[in-house]
Structure formats: structure tokens, C-alpha cells
Amino acid sequence: MGKSTFLQDFKAFAMKGNVIDMAVGVVIGGAFGKIVSSLVANVIMPPIGLLVGGVNFTDLKWVMKVAEIGADGKEIAPAVSLDYGQFLQATFDFLIIAFAIFLFIRLLTKLTTKKKEEAAAAPPAPPVPTKEEILLTEIRDLLKEKKI
């Protein structure tokens, strides 16, 4: 009994609308992240690197200890370095992705707010009757009074 209840509870949880919406959001967010990462790495960073003297940010590092090379030319101990260029690249990626998501959410908010405002707007006032309509209404009322 416990096993089938557990599976039923899990199925009910997994099929809730919020969980499915979140899963779709994660998949789309992952794809969107790849697009923006490519934009950063392939479109934005090359001109920035060119502006700062052709530096590739991912190659920036501070070597704290040089690699030890033996007499036979083989590396005995690897170099110890602080790869701050990778950190800078990840920071730029994050800032640009966050900015792109901000713009996307802002656009969605404006679109949904505009639709809500249009739906909440008061219906337009009925048009003012013309002189002919007023005259016909008066004639109708007079005929009702006489009950012809």
C-alpha cells in the first residue's frame, strides 16, 4: 500500500502545472543561456579584447609558482597559477546574461501590463443622440401617451 501511495503522490506532484512550467522554463533557460554565452564569447568579447590590446581574457593568469622542469625536459611539478581571466569571462557572461534576461522580463511585463490596462479600461460612453434621434424619441413618447 505504501509503495503505490508513494508513486501516486509522486505522479500528482510531477504533473502539477507549476512543476511542468518550471521544467519548461529550465530547458528554455538553458538554451537561452547557451545563446547568450555564444553572443558574449563570439561577438562581444573579441572587440573588447581588441580594444584592450588583443588580450584574450580567458588566458589572463598570475603565475604564483613556475613549473619545475627536469634535466630530461619533462615537467616535474606543474605551475601554480591564479586564472583570474576565467573569472573575468564568467563575470562578463553573468552580467550580460542577467541584463538580457532583465530586458526580456521587462518586455513581457510591459506587454502583459498593457493588455491588462486595455482590458480594465472603462467602456466608452454611448454616443450622444442626434437631433433626429431625439425628435423620434419624443414622437414615440407622445404616441405612447395617446395610445392610438
Query: pLDDT tens for residues 25-64?
Result: 888 888 887 887 788 778 887 887 788 777 677 778 888 8
Q: How confident is the model at residue 131 (pLDDT cuts 50, 70, 90)?
A: very high
More confident residue, 107 or 2: 107
Q: CB-based contacts of 100: which residues, under 8 Å, 6+ apart?
A: 32, 36
> pTM above 0.75?
no
Mean pLDDT of 105-116: 83
Mean pLDDT of 115-140: 82
**Cβ neighbourhood burial of 88 (10 Å; 0-12, 13-18, 19+):** middle
Please give the biggest Cα pair distance in the chain. Answer: 127
